[in-house]
Structure 1
């Protein structure tokens, strides 16, 4: 969680843009602390119940590795260890497999010192009742679930600023050759229902479409004063895009600045204006530059919102050259049509056109405009290598220059947010609902993964979780808190899955023991644990593969 298409190395440019070494260190520290807290809380649950039911606990450690400091009380060693990553609790007889004196003799010098402690038989894990052992096993996941619940409630008490576009269901852009485009959906359309379920927030659209890959869904759509129904099948329509129907949420296109002596300035466009339509077609921040650039008329008609008042403005644009299928932010590629340009990735930097250096958008536009109607060679720069030893490589691509339009205005997305903050009694309801929704989403994801409606490549490992943590941290402390809550709830449920070596596997074995009224066969348990361990290693291997191939290399 290392080719350039026909080239030999693939990109990880996006992992470096704007990231300095200090930011990397901070993000890694934040990631380690979060996972450490989740593991520590989990082990604390096991520890507290074990002590409660009278199980002898050798050690409760915060962190792993060499002990730094510690003290003993009532036979238990409490210590702080070198590696501050979670913690562990070690109980007498916790393996469920009794160790005899002959076993200890056979181990010789490799014997665990804890095995030499004379622990009364009634204080060993495997000699406790089934109910007591179940309590110890379940306590870890229960603590994670409780932590998630409390944190979700706290999130709603503190208040979380959510982007306004996430609290509505208006389409801001439709991806090329996507299911949404094939179905005729457009920017400005509002999704009212999916399979007759009312839609109020963007995350509902994302969740439902992700859980229905390859399955037709019925959408009720509002366009202007009309309402219609459309059947759409979510899919993996593009290797560079997330699965779904290929739509983006609506972000207002706000004018950030006007170039001097530009068509936009001459027409009266001002910073702060919000452009709602281009030539009577609804636009958003996601597609306004493209709509202007590819206008079919040489005169562009804009509808703007200025201080709450709607106005119409007519602009006589400048003719410019552009490359169809590639979109830039400055000189950085933000989108490249993989069918037209399979070697170009988001994050690549354009550094030359026909061997003439370009360092700015204005220089690029000028060079492209001088070559309208011609094929040219574009030279790109890409950063490859490892996090700590990046290097830059260059490569060239042939492209045809089309003619388009520019009005000389710079746009930004509106930064409007909605504060989700509630009094305690409502926060408890909201937090509880969000907690159980997380459980539902996890089980739904596992089900759809099992039946093939979600690709295994969507599974994230350490790198994926690290990236998500870094992204959430940029949105503030409360957003990061909501991620910790989500991860904690997910950890609790995953640990309870009936897979040997996980807590859920122990719950299954103990339940069978309770039903049969006798301990399970030792070899049977060992075999199941080996199988469970192998399955777990395969899953970890898959997530690491996804991290490396899809998240580091973007394949």
Structure 2
């Protein structure tokens, strides 16, 4: 249950921040954002505010911001249609009733002759039981109502495609960018709470399973020398200890101005390079410095970015196989393991996932933000947009291939889980 809660919270925040970046920049560019959704599939919760419907959907596999003009309008009103019109105080059409007109007895029914919901914003038609042709001006925030579900019209200047190349690129790029911003913020919080390591030969904490606690070492003790060799920094001290697993070492310890001798046998542990190293069971001292914490947030985000790009490069060159990739099941399991290590470690994991989400979305692949930026870039070079139908087909095929890759990776995750 703890793992499920951790996964829902972390991925909910990652997706929310990503889509919020798209939403804010798109709205600032004047684009009508019809829906801000967390998840896919059927709606389980929704509310509307300032033109946008905010929804939570059943399948927590991502999210989206539905901008006007990205896809064809679901309802198209053609000549010959009978629609009902409702008017605002200025005499402009505020609602166009597509069906169920009987539920709106105050509406004026006309048979449409001409209608323009994008540029000139008017509707022309014949009033019911009359032969006269009438023309009505449509409000730029009017709604059409189908099956009692209102949808705001999207004049051309409110559509995604009507905006400049720079505005559209900014709206798309803002999502991944916010994932990097989130990673920096989370890592700053981590460093602020956990403190920053100090490069001094001082005991920060004493672990319960180490030889240091058995020898009586305490937090704040300064290690002056090891086997007669003076040490002043954490790095100098650990370099000596790690090189002598299962060996007896003589320490001079300073506590409150007084020095005493201690002999400890370094325990043997498996290091990062699968080598046996020596440890005595102490952690580095830490200080709480907001300036260092901010610097840590930026530098660690950069380091994570470099590592992920290196891994992607190894994947492309074949040094890294698909078996090493983790899908939803694998990430769920890893998140559970990390959650058991404590909240601060979970912070670091969330930052790594956020950077990963940002980078993956920027890859120039169809259906991803990077693929959409690629088409916008091609438009800037060509001086005219790519045929929307061709671009849509490319994104559709790309999305299908991504789903196929996701299924393969998930299958590998499940096999690993039961092995």
Q: TM-score range, shorter-chain basis?
A: 0.5 to 0.7
CA distance in 2, matches of 1:138, 1:255: 52
1:155 aligns to what?
190
Candidates 12, 24, 42, aligned match of 1:36: 12
Offset at 1:45? Answer: 0.9
CA distance in 2, matches of 1:311, 1:519: 75
- SS class of match (2:154): coil
Structure 2 gaps of 5+ residues are 82-98, 100-145, 200-206, 218-239, 254-260, 266-278
Asked if residue 146 in structure 1 is aligned to residue 181 in structure 2, the reply is yes
Asked if residue 553 in structure 1 is aligned to residue 418 in structure 2, the reply is yes
Call closer, same or farther: CA 1:417–1:53 in 2, change over 3 Å: same
The question of whether the paired residues in 2 share the 8 Å contact of 1:252 and 1:414 is answered with no
2:398 aligns to what?
532
Call closer, same or farther: CA 1:81–1:446 in 2, change over 3 Å: closer
1:430 aligns to what?
296
Call closer, same or farther: CA 1:510–1:81 in 2, change over 3 Å: same
The question of whether the paired residues in 1 share the 8 Å contact of 2:211 and 2:264 is answered with no
Aligned-residue Cα RMSD (Å) equals: 4.3
Structure 1 gaps of 5+ residues are 1-24, 165-250, 257-269, 275-281, 289-301, 314-412
CA distance in 1, matches of 2:174, 2:148: 27
Candidates 334, 338, 355, aligned match of 1:489: 355
- SS class of match (1:90): strand
Call closer, same or farther: CA 1:493–1:69 in 2, change over 3 Å: closer
CA distance in 2, matches of 1:46, 1:312: 57
Map 1:185-224 onto structure 2 (within 5 A): none
**Aligned residue pairs: how many?**
309
CA distance in 2, matches of 1:312, 1:56: 69
CA distance in 2, matches of 1:477, 1:547: 25
The question of whether the paired residues in 1 share the 8 Å contact of 2:215 and 2:264 is answered with no
Offset at 1:305? Answer: 6.6
Higher RCO (C-alpha 8 Å, min separation 6): 1
CA distance in 1, matches of 2:46, 2:336: 33
1:498 aligns to what?
364
Give me the TM-score of the superposition, normalised by structure 2. 0.62
Call closer, same or farther: CA 1:546–1:283 in 2, change over 3 Å: farther
The question of whether the paired residues in 1 share the 8 Å contact of 2:41 and 2:58 is answered with yes
Call closer, same or farther: CA 1:472–1:305 in 2, change over 3 Å: farther
1:298 aligns to what?
none
The question of whether the paired residues in 1 share the 8 Å contact of 2:69 and 2:159 is answered with yes
Structure 1, residues 119-169: CA drift from partner, whole Å, max 9, x if none? 21211112222221111111111111111111112222222699x9xxxxx
1:77 aligns to what?
53
CA distance in 2, matches of 1:45, 1:62: 13
2:158 aligns to what?
123
- SS class of match (2:31): coil
Offset at 1:252? Answer: 12
